Every structure is written in C-alpha cells, then in structure tokens.
Amino acid sequence: MRILLKNASRLMENGVLESCDVLIEEGKIKQIGESIENEAVDRLINCEGKLVTPGFIDVHIHLREPGGEHKETIKTGTKAAARGGFTTVCAMPNTNPVPDDVASITSLLEKIDQDALIRVIPYASITKGLKGEELTDLEELAKHNVFAFTDDGVGIQTAHAMYSAMKRAQAAGKAIVAHCEDNSIVYGGVVHHGDVSERLDLPGIPSISESVQIARDVLLAEATGCHYHVCHVSTKESVRVIRDAKKAGIHVTAEVTPHHLILNEDSITQDDGNWKMNPPLRSKADQEALLEGLLDGTIDFIATDHAPHSADEKAQGMLHAPFGIVGLETAFPLLYTNLVKRGKITLHQLIDWLTIKPAQVFHLPYGRLRENDIADVTLIDLSRETRIDKHTFYSKGKNTPFHNWNVTGIPVVTIYEGNIVYEEESYVKA
C-alpha cells in the first residue's frame, strides 16, 4: 500500500516544527520531502496542522492473554495501543500459563502473530511460574524472540536468585527487567505509607520497599555486567540510587510511568480501587524527583505499565481490588497536556522518551522517522481538545483515575509497517 502524508509537521532536532510530506511504500518510509507528488498512491492523507512522529514504543504493558481474557486480550490490547499511537509494545509474563518455557513462548508467539494489530514482543519470566524460586532456562528462551527476562508484578526476593539470573541473562545477551519490591517490608500495604494512608486509614507501602531492592540489584549488575532495567520507578530514594549507579558506570536503565509523573498521593481523595496501583502514588517530593530524574537522564524513558482489570474487580475498594490502571490510550494526551503545555518538559523530550530512547536502551530498530526505515508512524493533532471517557476505550480495562479529565494532543492516525491500523472516525481525510 502506498500512502502519502501531505502537509504534515515534523519535529526537528532543534525543536523546530518543519512542514513535510511523507511517502510510505512497501512497509518502509520511501521519501520525506518538502513536497512530494501524489501520483499513483493508494491513500492520500491531508495532515495539515498535524504532527508526524515515529510510532510510540512501550516496553511495559500487560495484555493478560492467556488466562486473563476477561481483563484484556492480545487483540483488544493492541487495538488500544494503536489508538494511543503505539506501534511496538512489550508484553509482561504474568499470564496463565506463564511464558516460562519454549512451548509456552512458542504458543504465545503464534497467538500474537494471529491476533496482534501492532508489533508485540513478549517477555519471558525469570523464574518458573513467577514464584521466585527455580530459574527458567534463560539460555534457551533467549533464542526464541523474547524481549528480556522479568518477573514483573513480583520482586525477586533473594540475592542468590537475582545474581544467578543476571549472570545467565548477561551470557545470553538479554536484559533483566525488574519490578523492585522487598515483600518483607511491604506490610500488606495498598497505598503509599504517608499522608494518604493516614487520611484513608489504609495500610501503607513504605518507599524503602522499592529502593532497597534496587540498591541490592545495581551491585549485582555491577558484579555480573548484566543490563539491569528498573520498572516504574516511584521514589526519590530510587532515583538517587540509580543516579549513583550510573555515575559508577553500572549498566542500569530505568523507566517512569505517566501516572507517577502527573499524580501523587494528594490526588487520592477517597477509597477507590481505580487509584490502586503498584508501585503506589508517592509523595509530592517523590513526584518532583521523578521528573528531575527524567530530565537529567537518570530515568531513561516513559512506559505506561498498562494494567487492565475488570470493573467488578476494581469496584472492591483499595483493600481488595487488584493493583493497576490502564494507560495506552491516554498516555500521550495526558503527558502533553500536563507536562509539555505547562512548560515542565519540551515536546521534543516527550517524543524522544516515547520513541528513540526506549529503542536505544534495548537496541530496537524502531523509533525514528527516516527514509528507508520501517514505516511505523503516528499522526497527532496537537490542538485538538477532548475529555477522557473510559467508556469509549478500546481496551477491555476501564480502570483509570483520569476519567473526565480534559486533555489536548490526540493521536488520530497510527501506521504500523506501512498499514493504517488506527484512524480516528472523526478525522477528516483528503
């Protein structure tokens, strides 16, 4: 399919918007130019007033399939991702069965090939059944198109297990991606241990439960030479540990979620399961440290931790609802509205943290808008305003604290490998 994007704006390295046309042919970006003739194209899209960017990359999402199809499926999750402007996502392994051997990974890859609307690269687990005990066959799994190894949702509790996993992952050329949480000091918490736990009389999760495990792991990463990546950083102490580790030359990278950048514990006003996430929303000081860490390069990029659950599950209140919120369909407009438009970050920085930065960290051949590259492209209406309505989500999960928030900057077209996989119904085409 030949697609011509006419009169788009692209963001240059100096942060200036420049008008351009983009010709897509045979799944590649054939040409980027000031004016491209529109002869013999299958589709001409008038992009006047729209920003063209590389397709977004999210290395941390939950698709729930197999085993949790009432929450999300590969089909619904990738449809939601495409709507949010994402063309590459990496699926976490807390499914049933867990992708912890070659047979389960092979089956999962077949299902992805059958149902995914965009590129899905699955993780394999570090331990069998995510139980934190027996390691998987990391060497064999690494040969089967797994993204990296993680027990996301569960912290690896013993240094021995993590040390062994890092040595084997490093030898196999894969990263260890860690949900950092020391269970011995979580104390059954459901929110941050601080003002919110006191206000709502709920058990709190101390910040140290996260940072103490990161501190352990960066030393193990130094000892093994393994690439160690920290999921959803949430505390100022964690930022400090990661910053110091990077200064010491340790191969550690990190991500932060949109919700931890935009919200803090003061945002929670009532006992509502839609505000329950892990790690929890921390203090204002933590929130500020996360943004500072992102700006100075301590934190490498943004990932959503899209975690869909059913409405019934989330209606149980903080004590009994599962952790997690959805994020694929709201990430860009929330970040653009609350950080770019308020002058806290630049548009160029935001695009980089959603595209080239995760690609560079994990050596992915995506995330750039260049001639001859794979045509993963997102078209965004930066001036368009709308109200987030969870009832219109493509995701099965409606669990968001951002329902009814007013936002600006809406992805209107998503192209994956040269094919239009999402197009907003109200978008007027030439």
What phi and psi values does residue 104 have, to the nearest 5 degrees? -70, -35
Tokens standing for 240? 């400090």
Tokens standing for 183? 């269970």
Render 296-318 in DSSP notation, one character per residue.
Answer: TTSS-EE---B----HHHHTT-T
Residue 337, judged by CB atoms within 10 A of its CB (0-12, 13-18, 19+), counts as middle
Q: Which of 120, 121, 87, 79 is nearest to 418 (CA)?
A: 87
Residues carrying an active site annotation: 305
Binding site feature residues for substrate:
62-64, 94, 278, 309, 323-324
Binding site feature residues:
60, 62-64, 94, 152, 179, 232, 278, 305, 309, 323-324
- Give the β-pairing of 252-256 and 301-302: parallel
- Which helix (H) or strand (E) covers residue 407, if one does? strand 406-416
Binding site feature residues for Zn(2+):
60, 62, 152, 179, 232, 305
Considering all CA atoms of the chain, what is the largest pairwise distance in Å, rounded to the nearest integer?
66
- Which helix (H) or strand (E) covers residue 114, if one does? helix 102-115
Q: How many other C-beta atoms lie within 10 A of the C-beta of residue 365?
A: 8
In 3-state terms, the chain is what percent helix, strand and coil (to 5)? 30, 25, 45
The torsion of the CA quartet 182, 188, 193, 197, rounded to 10 degrees, works out to 170
